[in-house]
Amino acid sequence: MKFRILTLFPEMFDAVTGASILGRALSNQQIKIECDNIRAFSKDKHHKVDDAPFGGGAGMVMKVEPLRDALNSKPQLPNSRVIYLTPKGETLKHEKVVSLAKYDELILVCGHYEGVDQRFIDRYVDEEISIGDYVLTGGELAAMVVIDSVSRMVSGVLNNEGSAEEESFSNGLLEYPHYTRPQVVDGDEVPSVLLSGNHAEIEKWRYRESVKLTAERRPELLSEDQKQALKDNFIKKKKRVEKKRL
Ligand code: 4HQ
């Protein structure tokens, strides 16, 4: 997977190229990150990349020509997508991350100031993506979120091949809680089922914990079947309590 970034601040991407899993994916050539500095494509003597908005108002708008020339400075791969990061875009979700991982190249356009001239978006951008309902100072952090989340879906990037599948969202649920050594810390114990060695029971426990947590925090993520199963369970438990009372 190749990530090409059009940005005014290429240094910001050092944050993801050096460290941890992405650093390894880069040196293993499973991913590639290339920055093009938009300012280098300004033909203006002051390297101007923005200008005042037509119609008036506060802030500045990024000009079409430097963005267009930065984009066209390299050939686009055949299976490629041009993405503009903006709060107006489709909110990034797990399913979107999975589908973006199918491209050979993602070209991420990072805006600053009030954003970019609409004519650049209309002519060159395939899709607009938002990383959430809040406002950043620029598209760079959003682009890094796309790079990080998409990279870990690229085959071979994660050490543990299963770990992308086991996590939150891959089964549509929030993940069950995790525990590691020691068995007791400050008097707090690990749930005994996890020490039982009974893998069928452990799997059942983890699934129940996932459904419980999802019902509490993100009920909108549960399917109708999962909600019905929770209700049936609740009724069963109530009946058991009533029977004990008799
Ligand atoms: N911005 N998700 C404004 C974002 C953003 C987001 C990027 C700030 C674009 C012009 N991008 N610039 N939220 O807030 O993607």
Split at pLDDT 50, 70, 90, the class of 166 is low
Report whether residue 139 contacts ligand 1, using a CB cutoff of 6 Å: yes
More confident residue, 50 or 159: 50
Q: What is the pLDDT of residue 159?
A: 79
**Topology of the domain comprising 2-151:** Alpha/beta knot (3.40.1280)
**Ligand 1 pocket mutation, candidates 62, 116, 130, criterion most atoms within 8 A of CB:** 130
Q: Distance (Å, rounded) from C-alpha 231 to C-alpha 147? A: 40
Name the amino acid, one letter, at 155: S
Q: What is the pLDDT of residue 194?
A: 98
Identify the sign of the CA torsion 43, 46, 50, 54.
negative
**Ligand 1 pocket mutation, candidates 62, 121, 136, criterion most atoms within 8 A of CB:** 136
Residues in Cβ contact with 221 at an 8 Å cutoff, skipping those fewer than 6 apart:
172, 173, 174, 214
For the chain, the three-class secondary structure string (H helix, E strand, C coil) is CEEEEEECCHHHHHHHHCCHHHHHHHHCCCCEEEEEEHHHHCCCCCCCCEECCCCCCCCCEECHHHHHHHHCCCCCCCCEEEEEEEEEEEECCHHHHHHHCCCCEEEEECCECCCECHHHHHHHCCEEEECCCCCCCECHHHHHHHHHHHHCCCCCCCCCCCHHHHCCCCCCCCCCCCCCCCCEECCEECCHHHHCCCHHHHHHHHHHHHHHHHHHHCHHHCCHHHHHHHHHHHHHHHHHHHHHHC
> How, if at all, do strands 80-91 and 127-130 pair?
parallel
Residues 169-188 have pLDDT tens digits of 878 999 999 999 999 999 99
Q: What is the pLDDT of residue 245?
A: 92
Q: What is the pLDDT of residue 210?
A: 95
Split at pLDDT 50, 70, 90, the class of 165 is low
Please compute the mean of the pLDDT values over residues 36-50 and round it to a whole number: 96
Which ligand 1 atom is nearest residue 135's CA?
14
Report whether residue 131 contacts ligand 1, using a CB cutoff of 6 Å: yes
Q: What is the pLDDT of residue 153?
A: 94
Residues 59-71 have pLDDT tens digits of 999 999 999 999 9
How far, in Å, is the centroid of ligand 1 from the Cα of 9?
A: 15
Domains of the chain, residue spans: 2-151, 184-245
How far, in Å, is the centroid of ligand 1 from the Cα of 229?
A: 40
Split at pLDDT 50, 70, 90, the class of 161 is low
Q: Is the pLDDT of residue 230 over 80?
A: yes
How far, in Å, is the centroid of ligand 1 from the Cα of 147?
A: 15
Residues 71-115 have pLDDT tens digits of 999 999 999 999 999 999 999 999 999 999 999 999 999 999 899
Q: In 3D, which of 179, 109, 183, 170 has the Cα closest to residue 139? A: 109
How far, in Å, is the centroid of ligand 1 from the Cα of 135?
A: 6
Q: What is the pLDDT of residue 135?
A: 97
How far, in Å, is the centroid of ligand 1 from the Cα of 121?
A: 14
In the block, residue with structure tokens 């939150």 = 168
The residue whose CA has the least distance to atom 11 of ligand 1 is 86
* Helix 20-27 vs helix 140-151: crossing angle, to nearest 10: 70
Report whether residue 111 contacts ligand 1, using a CB cutoff of 6 Å: yes
pTM for this prediction: 0.94
Which ligand 1 atom is nearest residue 137's CA?
8
- The mean pLDDT of the chain is 94
> How, if at all, do strands 2-7 and 32-37 pair?
parallel
